[in-house]
């Protein structure tokens, strides 16, 4: 079985406390997927010029935000690491001639743990966090993801966490801003066609690109390329969810590889097989 890769918007950190259509979607998504052996997550809040790979036995919960309700700072997500997977990722990066560093004592930033806490609330799936580099070209970011696509055949779930429209200086309220919707529609059509030429040049070609992806905030958009690269063999994209916070903060989820129905069917078949084995045991 080959798991899909995903791009998942993490929105505001308060999603960890909210009950809304998007949080319920993420909960259902985690339940519908076959149980992964481990999760590899590229987070917008782990931006580094060096390619970093976590090698922690247990990852600390990083509360890398300010001015939020006190209960936000009490939330934890004590995910375990996976030493064998860290070493396999290192081998894949060596094979791709990508310099990297394995680090410990960093933990999981909120771009990772907020969505994982919704998808896998028991923190019972090992997690490896990988940095992104907002200074690399989109093609380089895509190629790094492509180096890891074989992991999907080993029941490893690969996630890019960020936001296609993420400009905190243009937050609004009420209905989604037309310019944000237009940008997401342009990106969506290119994803569905797997049009890498346009996507790699989105800054010049996409409408309202500078508003949607400001120069100071490109790190939130680029996890999309890492996740896409991890599904290069499939080259299939499907939008599973789209909404907005504050009119301009895009909440979307894209699946790369396979289809949502196939994934859910595989999960149901696996659950039925396990139930049958339990009955005959």
Tens digit of each residue's pLDDT (9 = 90 or more) over 166-208: 987 777 777 899 999 999 999 999 999 999 999 999 999 999 9
pTM to 2 decimal places = 0.91
| In the chain, % of residues over pLDDT 70 | 92
What is the average pLDDT score of the chain?
Answer: 91
pLDDT tens-digit series, residues 20-30 = 999 999 999 99
CA end-to-end span of the chain? 25
Enter the tokens of residue 67.
């001015």
Q: List, in order of start, the domains of the chain with CATH numbers.
A: 5-280 (3.40.830.10)
Q: Which of 93, 94, 106, 6 lies closest to 48, judged by CA?
A: 106
> Could you read off the pLDDT of 93-116 as tens digits, one per residue?
999 999 999 999 899 999 999 999
User: CB within 8 A of 184, min separation 6: which ones?
Assistant: 164, 165, 212, 242, 250, 252
Q: Is 214 exposed, middle or buried (0-12, 13-18, 19+ CB in 10 A)?
A: middle
């Amino acid at each position: 079985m080959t798991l899909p890769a995903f791009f998942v918007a993490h929105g505001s950190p308060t999603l960890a406390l909210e009950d809304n259509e998007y949080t319920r979607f993420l909960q259902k998504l985690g339940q519908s997927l076959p149980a992964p052996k481990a999760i590899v997550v590229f987070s917008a809040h782990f931006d580094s010029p060096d390619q970093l790979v976590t090698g922690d036995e247990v990852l600390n919960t990083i509360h890398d935000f300010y001015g939020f309700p006190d209960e936000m700072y009490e939330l934890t997500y004590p995910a375990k690491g996976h030493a064998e997977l860290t070493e396999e990722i290192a081998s894949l990066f060596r094979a791709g001639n990508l310099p990297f560093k394995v680090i410990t004592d960093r933990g999981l930033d909120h771009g990772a743990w907020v969505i994982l806490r919704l998808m896998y609330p028991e923190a019972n799936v090992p997690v490896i966090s990988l940095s992104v580099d907002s200074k690399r070209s989109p093609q380089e970011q895509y190629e790094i993801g492509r180096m890891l696509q074989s992991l999907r055949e080993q029941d490893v779930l690969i996630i890019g966490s960020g936001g296609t429209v993420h400009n905190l200086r243009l937050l609004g309220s009420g209905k989604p801003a037309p310019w944000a919707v237009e940008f997401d529609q342009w990106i969506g059509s290119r994803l569905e066609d797997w049009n890498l030429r346009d996507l790699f040049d989105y800054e010049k070609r996409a409408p309202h690109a500078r508003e949607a992806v400001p120069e100071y905030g490109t790190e939130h958009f680029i996890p999309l390329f890492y996740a896409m690269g991890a599904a290069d063999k499939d080259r299939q994209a499907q939008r599973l969810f789209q909404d907005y916070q504050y009119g301009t903060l895009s909440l979307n989820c894209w699946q790369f590889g396979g289809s949502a129905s196939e994934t859910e069917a595989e999960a149901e078949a696996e659950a039925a097989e396990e139930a049958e084995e339990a009955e005959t045991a």
